[in-house]
Structure formats: structure tokens, C-alpha cells
Amino acid sequence: MLVCMDINSRTCGRIEKSQKFAVNMLAENQKDLAYQFASSKIEHQYDGVPYELGQLGAPLLEGATCQIECTLNDSVTSGDHQILIGAPSNVKILSHLAPLVYVRGGFHGLGEKMP
């Protein structure tokens, strides 16, 4: 599993320290939650968000279409982003709702017409 994130994000440092992370694939009806986690201005991003800790100790969000827990295998810096490469150890497909994707600077449903 490959994940890219801002090198200065709080999450990036936590993952590098713990060597574990989870990817929560959100449904298209969870745009507000996606923007909440994308914002660096929100101090406590998990406030009011239902989640549980997975087998590796990473947060698994309620309502996600899929949850993938990973152990960090490698980390590469590229510009202002960190590329994290993890080995999936636990995968749960929880819903067949359409996933949310990030395209052209915003979050959209997979079948949504792009501007």
C-alpha cells in the first residue's frame, strides 16, 4: 500500500514513529469527514468521529467502505511529501457504497461528473 502525505503533517510523524498505519477508504457521502482530516487547522481531528483501534493500534473509522491496516516497510521523501510504503496485514471490506476520491483539488464520488 502506497500513501503520500505532507512531510510536515502530524500524522506523518506518528506513522514514522509507530511503524504502523491504517488506510480508511471513505464513502462518497463522507466528504465532510475527508475535509476534516485533510485540514491542518483542526487540532483534534478525531473529536466526534466514531472509530476503534485495529489489531495494529491504528484508528479504523466507522462508516468507511474499506479499512486496511499496514506495517510500514519503507519511507521516501520527495519534495514536500513523504511516500509511505506499507505491507497490508488486515483488510476489511465493509460496504459496497461508492468510494470517495480526490480529483482536481477536491473530493468527489467515483461516478460524479467532474467540473
**All structural domains of the chain:** 2-109 (2.30.110.10)
- Average pLDDT on 37-55 reads 86
For the stretch 82-96, pLDDT in tens is 999 999 999 999 988
* Dist. CA 99–CA 29, nearest whole Å: 9
Check pLDDT > 90 for residue 104: no
Share of the chain residues as helix, strand and coil, in percent rounded to the nearest 5: 15, 45, 40
pTM: 0.88
* 49-to-34, 45, 65 alpha-carbon distances in Å: 11, 8, 15
Check pLDDT > 80 for residue 114: no
Among the listed residues 69, 59, 85, the one whose alpha carbon sits nearest the alpha carbon of residue 3? 85
- Map residue 74 onto helix, strand or coil: strand
